Amino acid sequence: MHATIQKPIEEIVQFIRPGEKVFVIGCNNCAWKCHSGGEDETKAMAERLAKRGVDVVGYTVPGPQGMSLCKLDHTRKVLTQDYAGPVKKADSFLVLGCGQGVHTVIDATDGGMVHPGCDTIFGGETVSETEINEYCSLCGECIIEFTGGLCPMTLCAKSLLNGPCGGAENGKCEVDPDRDCGWIMIYERLSKLNRLDLLKPYQKPKNHAKWSRPRSLKVSPHEATFCSMGGKITVNNQD
């Protein structure tokens, strides 16, 4: 899930030029969970902009709840058919969703002008209605088999792969006394699971080529190919 937070309204208003007609579009999946671009927030943003003198020609959240803005065919249908009228009047789209959603709007409108209404901050687990935490850095080279499912790239401030540095004190990271040391968490979990043997193998240096952007994934029911600067990797998911 992509965690997003709205940009301050003062910053958003600065993006919009005098006389510009704006269509506000949110996302009923991740941004809804983050309260940054769900139905309520999108309606509120339209009203807040109008209050500040922006010419808002319409707004929507491509529904239903759980539907992502970043699903191109659906968003295209919503903007070019369901909301064709207001969209035709719009000079630009204020997008309350993640960066993937912003790009989807560009694709859906064949190159329409877009403004990002949110900062996209991380990929996270929705722990509760009020808490979303980052546990994965989307590095493309997962080694959490060896760390009990807890990612050292994400939980260790230095992204160390072979164990902790010497800086932790009272179980807390040297960077922040309120932050648990990622490697102590990994160790405690593996101790509980009686699998400390998993820490023995040497973890080789990260392949940053697999983490380079932009990456792509070609999929079919039988196989998938991951493309990055690290090359193409095809995996069969049926044999």
**Which residue ranges make up the site for other proteins (CB under 8 A)?**
157-171, 174-176, 183-184, 187, 196, 199-200, 202-206, 208
Of 19 and 166, the one with the shorter C-beta distance to other proteins is 166
Min CB(143)–other proteins separation in Å: 13
Of 72 and 161, the one with the shorter C-beta distance to other proteins is 161
The DSSP-derived string for the chain is -EEEEEPPHHHHHHHSPTT-EEEEEE-SSHHHHTTSSSHHHHHHHHHHHHHTT-EEEEEE--SSTT--TT-HHHHHHIIIIITHHHHHH-SEEEEES-HHHHHHHHHHTTS-EEEE-EEEEEEEEE-SSS-EEE-----S---GGGGTT--HHHHSTT--SSS--S--BTTB-TT-TTSB-HHHHHHHHHHHTT-GGGG-SPPPPP-GGGG-SS-EEEE-SSEEEEEETTEEEEEES--
Min CB(188)–other proteins separation in Å: 8
Min CB(10)–other proteins separation in Å: 23
Min CB(228)–other proteins separation in Å: 17
Of 206 and 210, the one with the shorter C-beta distance to other proteins is 206
Of 138 and 199, the one with the shorter C-beta distance to other proteins is 199
Of 160 and 224, the one with the shorter C-beta distance to other proteins is 160
Min CB(172)–other proteins separation in Å: 10
Residues 6+ apart with CB under 8 A from 151: 135, 136, 137, 142, 144
Rounded Cα distance, 197 and 71, in Å: 42
Min CB(120)–other proteins separation in Å: 19
Of 76 and 179, the one with the shorter C-beta distance to other proteins is 179
